[in-house]
């Protein structure tokens, strides 16, 4: 128990150092100079900026060939934080008055309601995670391999793996080849926490870090919603409804708790960084502020160093938003471009862009750029999962009530957009432009198009994954719809609601009942039993046995179909990302894209066949790890294999 | 302390409590011995002809019976005990005239049994 308590202290200390302090001191310094942010914004931005600062400092250390250790990290992050603190105290003592920060004040009831909603959001996630907190998910296993590599070697990893090559009738293991599936920002913060706290990657900390980031992503959406509807009297109500639709309702389905335990690291971090990037762009454009534009670019860079899919969707959303602004203000497009150009071609913005380019080309270039991975997503969708969802699948991904309300919300917003555009036809003022509507339209538009009709823009990315990103903008729009229908008052503060008494009570009750039933039913439906810990324990035990018996040159074959938590075997062995070799899901051998070899399939399914024997010999596969109930028989029949390990779930065979 | 601070502090403490609970639960789940009922067997030296083996016990079972057979003919047997979390090594003396034969090790408890073997 004592060691557990100590590990907890070490864990929270490392969290403060990696995920809070550097961003907090940076934000406080910025706030002391410019006064941009409220206390709530300061807190949420601290996490986003901390990810940026920790990642950047680690990459710089890596580029300088300085080993990543507990002390090198503590010193650099500590020095950065101290520098920001001193700059704030010495140079920026007087807090300036910046317009817009005072309007985001909450009443006591609103504070209580917000905290209760967040408490419920935390509660439902905890309820699910308690049965799935033991590391077992495939994605998390993959990510923790790279994290562990950083921890063990103390350097920035090369994302490479060895593959099976077929030349004529001979099979060989290739030299390490570049892979583009991973981005450095997905692993650095975990490595930093592991190094500082001393915790193993096979522990509670990866899931808890994701849990914390997930909760902060809800807060990021909260502050974004407040800023989107800054000029709306009901901004706080809209933000609270958004939090309600995202936090406690549908708390488990992707991209929420299931992505936390599933270790969908890029998505979880991306869902924090994307709203923050939008937040800064919205404010920079609306307030015509160069410093905010610099912060928007920093947030975008943060996103590009963390998750390519999120960054890609963000870029497309932003481009569509800009396009919509220009189309809806066609007559004044030149004026708009002039204003934006003035901001863009200013010293702080161009200087920052230059620094970012220098960083990208001298310190670290993301793997998807060096490997030209962008080519793989551009073009007509090839895989079945990339060809678009049906409307029913889209509805399931977003949650029925959220989608239903959002559709009504989109209609109301569309009406408002057209109304505002017409009213400004002969009276153009930049300050009156409804940027929030364009940003929402661009965000929702891109996600809808790629989820439902990816062929239209020739992009091949997983449609269901993209649809999951829709939960955020659709929830904001659904909340706007709720407020517009039930709580919006007129300009003169009189309660002239869209839906009036006596219908008000019944419709509101029905809508809330519909939301609660659908959202909580979904939570309950997803609280099903996950894989029992003892099953995962046995995979870990078999992996530990293998790790202790392997000799140099030995190759191992495992199975992804029947062995639970098989992806974690590689974290125990730490030989290569593609070690052990494994039999993948069968469709991967059939789609002609994922698997171009059959050795990994045949060696398990039919080990006695001549071709399988050749695979064993050519690849030097000496150990085979299989599920004892599904795949033991074919090995027990073959006298060339010794059964050297057995537990309730797994047998290990040695090829003689 | 203001009302807002009190409410936010309560939320932060609740969140910390949840994190602590999850961490503690995970520790227990990862502990091979905490509330678990499984055991494994393996050869101490899998690559050679040595038949010594290890029983790794993570169950409430304590008594294990082992039996060695050569081409399905029982050769020797014995009983051993292994406590929770114990790795018990059973040393098997080198056998004569076993070339080309399948040496089977069957380990059983009153509830279950497992086998490992070498084809020498």
Q: Which two tokens stand for residue A30?
A: 């910025």
Angle made by CA atoms A328, A334, A335, in degrees to the nearest 5: 90
Better-scored residue on pLDDT, B90 or A425: B90
Whole-number pLDDT of residue A648: 95
Between chain A and chain B, the number of residue pairs with CB atoms below 8 A apart is 120
- CA-based nearest residue in chain A for residue B103: A642
Residues B53 and B87 reside in one and the same domain = yes
Q: Tell me whether strands A170-173 and A164-167 are parallel, antiparallel or unpaired.
A: antiparallel
Residues B64 and B94 reside in one and the same domain = yes
Residues B22 and B42 reside in one and the same domain = no
The Cβ-side half-sphere exposure at A264, using a 13 Å CA radius, reads 20
Q: How far is CA A363 from CA A55, A59, A61, A502, B7, in A?
A: 12, 7, 9, 65, 44
Nearest to A643 among B4, B18, B117 (CB): B117
Whole-number pLDDT of residue A212: 98
- Contacts with B20 from chain A: Cβ below 8 Å: 8
- Longest CA pairwise span in chain B (Å): 86
Residues B48 and B19 reside in one and the same domain = no
Whole-number pLDDT of residue A100: 65
> CA of B110 to nearest chain A CA: how many angstroms apart?
15
The answer, yes or no, to whether residue A489 has pLDDT greater than 60, is yes
Q: How far is CA A22 from CA A15, A294, A364, in A?
A: 11, 18, 21
Domain that holds residue B15: 1-30
Residue A363, C-beta contacts closer than 8 angstroms, at least 6 positions apart: A56, A59, A60, A63
B7 touches chain A (CB under 8 A): yes
Residue A375 confidence class, pLDDT cut points 50, 70, 90: low
Question: Are B38 and A537 in contact (CB < 8 Å)?
Answer: yes
Nearest to B46 among A212, A549, A639 (CB): A549
Which secondary structure element, helix H or strand E, spans residue B41, and what is its range? strand B38-43
Question: Are A545 and B10 in contact (CB < 8 Å)?
Answer: no
Residue B25 confidence class, pLDDT cut points 50, 70, 90: very high
Average pLDDT for residues A257-279, to the nearest whole number?
Answer: 94
Residues B7 and B61 reside in one and the same domain = no
B30 touches chain A (CB under 8 A): yes
Tens-digit pLDDT profile for residues B32-79: 999 889 999 999 999 998 999 999 999 999 999 999 999 888 889 999
- Contacts with B114 from chain A: Cβ below 8 Å: 646-647
Mean pLDDT of chain A: 91
Residues B64 and B87 reside in one and the same domain = yes
Q: Fill in the DSSP letter of residue A399.
A: -
Whole-number pLDDT of residue A74: 98
Residues B11 and B56 reside in one and the same domain = no
Tens-digit pLDDT profile for residues A45-59: 999 999 999 999 999
Residue A287 confidence class, pLDDT cut points 50, 70, 90: very high
- Contacts with A568 from chain B: Cβ below 8 Å: none
Whole-number pLDDT of residue A278: 97
Question: Are A537 and B32 in contact (CB < 8 Å)?
Answer: yes
Question: Are B4 and A111 in contact (CB < 8 Å)?
Answer: yes
Q: Give the C-alpha separation, A652 to B72, whole Å.
A: 21
Question: Are B46 and A646 in contact (CB < 8 Å)?
Answer: no
- Kindly write down the DSSP assignment for every residue of A147-213, as one continuous string: HHHHHHH-SPPP-EE--EEEETTEEEEPSPEE--S--GGGTHHHHHHHHHH---SSSSHHHHHHHHH
Whole-number pLDDT of residue A237: 93
Nearest to A208 among B3, B8, B19 (CB): B19
Question: Are A644 and B118 in contact (CB < 8 Å)?
Answer: yes
Q: How far is CA A339 from CA A36, A288, A316, A342, A439, in A?
A: 21, 8, 22, 5, 18
Q: Which two tokens stand for residue A45?
A: 């931005």
- Contacts with B58 from chain A: Cβ below 8 Å: 537
> CA of B23 to nearest chain A CA: how many angstroms apart?
5
Phi, psi (rounded to 5 degrees) for B3 = -60, -45
Residue B59, C-beta contacts closer than 8 angstroms, at least 6 positions apart: B36, B37, B38, B39, B84, B109
- Contacts with A121 from chain B: Cβ below 8 Å: none
Residues B5 and B62 reside in one and the same domain = no
Phi, psi (rounded to 5 degrees) for A122 = -65, -40
Question: Are B36 and A533 in contact (CB < 8 Å)?
Answer: yes
Q: Give the C-alpha separation, B70 to B119, whole Å.
A: 10
Best of A3, A642, A650, A653 to disrupt the B interface (most B CBs within 10 Å) is A642
Whole-number pLDDT of residue A258: 87
Question: Are A542 and B40 in contact (CB < 8 Å)?
Answer: yes
The answer, yes or no, to whether residue A493 has pLDDT greater than 60, is no
Which secondary structure element, helix H or strand E, spans residue A144, and what is its range? helix A138-153
CB A546 within 8 A of CB A572: yes
B1 touches chain A (CB under 8 A): no
Q: How far is CA A450 from CA A199, A278, A319, A505, in A?
A: 40, 19, 14, 38
Q: Give the C-alpha separation, A211 to B42, whole Å.
A: 38
End-to-end CA distance of chain B: 77
- Contacts with A134 from chain B: Cβ below 8 Å: 26, 29-30
Task: Name the β-bridge partners of A634.
Answer: none
The answer, yes or no, to whether residue A387 has pLDDT greater than 90, is no
Q: Give the C-alpha separation, A246 to A272, whole Å.
A: 13
> CA of A523 to nearest chain B CA: how many angstroms apart?
18
Residues B53 and B16 reside in one and the same domain = no
Closest Cα partner for A289 from A27, A417, A28, A100? A100
Alpha helices in A200-306 (DSSP H): 205-228, 235-246, 257-262, 265-287, 290-304
Tens-digit pLDDT profile for residues A300-340: 999 999 999 999 999 999 999 999 999 998 888 999 999 99
Residues B21 and B74 reside in one and the same domain = no
Contacts 24+ apart (CB under 8 A), B31-37: B32/A537, B32/A541, B32/B58, B32/B85, B33/B58, B33/B84, B33/B85, B36/A533, B36/A534, B36/A537, B37/A534, B37/B61
Which secondary structure element, helix H or strand E, spans residue A42, and what is its range? helix A39-63
Nearest to B26 among A133, A534, A549 (CB): A133
- Contacts with A133 from chain B: Cβ below 8 Å: 22, 25-26, 29
Residue A378 confidence class, pLDDT cut points 50, 70, 90: low
Residues B112 and B55 reside in one and the same domain = yes
> CA of A643 to nearest chain B CA: how many angstroms apart?
5
Q: Give the C-alpha separation, A436 to B44, whole Å.
A: 67
Q: Count how many domains chain B has.
A: 2
> CA of B33 to nearest chain A CA: how many angstroms apart?
9
- Residue B92 sits in a domain whose CATH number is 2.60.40.10
Tens-digit pLDDT profile for residues A59-93: 999 999 999 999 999 999 999 999 999 999 988 77
Question: Are A533 and B22 in contact (CB < 8 Å)?
Answer: no
Neighbour count for residue A320 (Cβ, 10 Å)? 19
- Contacts with A552 from chain B: Cβ below 8 Å: none
Residues B60 and B91 reside in one and the same domain = yes
Nearest to A122 among B18, B39, B116 (CB): B18
B41 touches chain A (CB under 8 A): yes
């Amino acid at each position: 128990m004592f060691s557990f308590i100590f590990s907890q202290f070490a864990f929270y200390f490392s969290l403060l150092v990696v995920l809070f302090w550097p961003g907090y001191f940076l934000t406080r310094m910025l706030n002391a100079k410019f006064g941009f942010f409220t206390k709530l914004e300061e807190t949420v931005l601290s996490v986003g900026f901390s990810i940026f600062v920790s990642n950047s400092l680690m990459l710089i250390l890596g580029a300088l060939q300085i080993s990543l250790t507990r002390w090198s990290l503590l010193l650099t992050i500590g020095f950065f934080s101290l520098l920001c603190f001193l700059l704030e105290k010495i140079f920026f003592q007087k807090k300036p008055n910046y317009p817009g920060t005072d309007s985001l004040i909450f009443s006591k009831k609103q504070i209580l309601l917000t905290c209760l909603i967040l408490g419920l959001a935390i509660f439902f996630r905890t309820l699910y995670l308690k049965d799935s907190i033991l590391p077992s998910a495939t994605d998390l296993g993959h990510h923790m391999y790279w994290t562990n590599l950083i921890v063990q070697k103390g350097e920035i990893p090369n994302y490479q793996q060895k593959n099976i090559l077929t030349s004529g009738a001979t099979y060989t293991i290739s030299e390490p080849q570049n892979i583009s599936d991973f981005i450095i920002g997905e692993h650095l913060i975990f490595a930093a926490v592991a190094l500082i706290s001393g915790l193993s990657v096979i522990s509670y900390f990866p899931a808890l870090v994701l849990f914390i980031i997930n909760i902060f992503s809800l807060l990021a959406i909260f502050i974004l919603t407040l800023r989107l509807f800054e000029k709306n009297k009901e901004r706080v109500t809209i933000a609270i409804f958004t939090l309600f639709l995202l936090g406690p309702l549908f708390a488990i389905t992707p991209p929420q708790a299931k992505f936390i335990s599933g270790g969908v690291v890029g998505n979880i971090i991306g869902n924090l960084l994307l709203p923050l990037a939008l937040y800064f762009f919205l404010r920079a454009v609306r307030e015509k502020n160069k410093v905010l534009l610099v912060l928007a670019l920093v947030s975008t860079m943060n996103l590009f160093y963390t998750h390519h899919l999120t960054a890609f969707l963000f870029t497309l959303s932003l481009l569509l938003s800009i396009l919509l602004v220009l189309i809806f203000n066609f007559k004044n497009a030149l004026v708009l471009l002039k204003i934006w150009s003035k901001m863009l071609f200013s010293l702080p913005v161009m200087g920052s862009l230059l620094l970012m380019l220098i960083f990208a080309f001298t310190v670290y270039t993301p793997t998807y750029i060096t490997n030209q991975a962008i080519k793989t997503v551009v073009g007509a969708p090839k895989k079945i999962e990339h060809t678009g969802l049906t409307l029913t699948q889209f509805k399931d991904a977003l949650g029925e009530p959220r989608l239903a309300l959002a559709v009504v919300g989109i209609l109301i917003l569309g009406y408002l957009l057209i109304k505002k555009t017409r009213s400004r036809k002969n009276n153009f003022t930049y300050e009156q432009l409804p940027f929030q509507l364009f940003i929402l339209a661009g965000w929702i538009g891109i996600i809808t198009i790629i989820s439902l009709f990816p062929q239209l823009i020739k992009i091949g990315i997983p449609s269901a994954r993209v649809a999951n990103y829709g939960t955020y903008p659709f929830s904001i729009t659904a909340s706007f719809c709720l407020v517009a229908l039930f709580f919006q008052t007129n300009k003169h503060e009189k309660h002239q609601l869209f839906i009036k008494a006596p219908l008000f009570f019944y419709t509101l009750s029905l809508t809330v009942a519909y939301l609660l039933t659908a959202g909580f039913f979904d939570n309950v439906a997803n609280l099903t039993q996950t894989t029992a810990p003892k099953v995962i324990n046995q995979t870990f035990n078999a992996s530990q046995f293998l790790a202790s018996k392997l000799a140099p040159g030995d190759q191992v074959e495992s199975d992804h179909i029947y062995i639970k938590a098989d992806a974690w075997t590689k974290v125990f062995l730490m030989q290569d990302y593609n070690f052990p070799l494994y039999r993948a899901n069968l469709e991967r051998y059939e789609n002609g894209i994922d698997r171009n070899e059959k050795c990994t399939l045949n060696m398990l399914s039919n080990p006695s066949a001549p071709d399988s024997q050749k695979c064993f010999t050519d690849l030097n596969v000496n150990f085979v790890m299989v599920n004892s109930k599904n795949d033991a028989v074919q090995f027990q029949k073959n006298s060339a294999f010794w059964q050297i390990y057995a537990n309730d779930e797994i047998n290990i065979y040695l090829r003689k | 302390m203001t009302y807002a601070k009190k409410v936010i502090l309560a939320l932060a403490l609740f969140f910390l409590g949840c994190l602590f609970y999850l961490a503690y639960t995970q520790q227990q789940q990862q502990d091979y011995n905490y509330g678990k009922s499984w055991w494994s067997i393996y050869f101490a030296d899998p690559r050679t002809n040595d038949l010594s083996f290890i029983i790794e016990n993570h169950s409430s079972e304590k008594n294990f019976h082992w039996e060695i057979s050569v081409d399905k003919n029982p050769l020797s047997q014995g009983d051993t005990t292994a406590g929770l979390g114990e790795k018990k090594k059973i040393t098997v003396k080198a056998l004569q005239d076993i070339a080309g034969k399948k040496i089977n090790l069957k380990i059983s408890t009153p509830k279950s049994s497992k086998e490992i073997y070498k084809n020498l």
